[in-house]
Structure 1
């Protein structure tokens, strides 16, 4: 480590921040939101780091909280800007389709939860689901099932999942 630092400082005449500088395996390192790995065929690949994905999820969570005072349209606009910018940044990484699909389902689920919480009472939920096209008998049965579930699992129910499609 010391030989590398002395080479960089003396030969290249660059300053090295000794607190941030470390030597570690390439699979554990992360640089500007990207990680590196080599699959079996020994070709270097770039992938999005877990820390970067968690950071974007946290920003999406902040935007989709109920106490930020945003309307549904404004919330969707902010999410579109955030996700579009992030996708443009990470587009140099090879295969991110799986990660983007998981992020998309996470954001859609958060938006469904916002709508579900906005409807507040079972009566208004019943009316809103009927407006979306579910027959009244099925809506009544579904509301009984949905109200007994945890809030994260409620939007995954068939009627809510397929009829409250926002993005």
Structure 2
């Protein structure tokens, strides 16, 4: 009943079309909106934004794709591509609180890059 009145108001007053299959009323911490998730900060007594868990997983998959060991590309080119992806992701989610997520991703990415450098160095002519 509440949903119908809100939908009716949005469609008639604002002149917008409401997609009933996508639209629902819920608490912000159960919502995913444009890749953002929300949580309630008890210290500040307000809802804050963070990247949604599925967005973080998609970002990790992209980084993993760029740091596959068997992918033969120069290290400078690989780092350039990683910088593009990371810079774009951080700029998009710049309003979020994501320090712990980024620290974990950074730690994992450094390890993967170290493995790539070790793999490139470990050839018979370089021993």
Aligned residues: 124
Query: Match of 1:57?
Result: 60
Q: For 2:20 and 2:115, how far apart are their aligned partners in 1?
A: 46
Query: Match of 1:71?
Result: 74
- What TM-score comes out, normalization by structure 1 length? 0.64
Q: For 1:18 and 1:124, how far apart are their aligned partners in 2?
A: 64
- What TM-score comes out, normalization by structure 2 length? 0.82
For residues 18-77 of structure 1, give each alpha carbon's deviation from its aligned partner in whole angstroms, at most 9, with x where no partner exists: 222122221011212222222224222122211221111111111112344322111111
Structure 2 unaligned runs (5+)? none
RMSD over equivalenced CA pairs, Å: 2.2
Structure 1 unaligned runs (5+)? 128-167
Query: Match of 2:14?
Result: 12
Higher relative contact order (CA 8 A, sep 6+): 2
Shift of 1:120: 5.7
In our comparison, the structure showing a higher alpha carbon Rg is 1
Q: For 2:46 and 2:91, how far apart are their aligned partners in 1?
A: 24
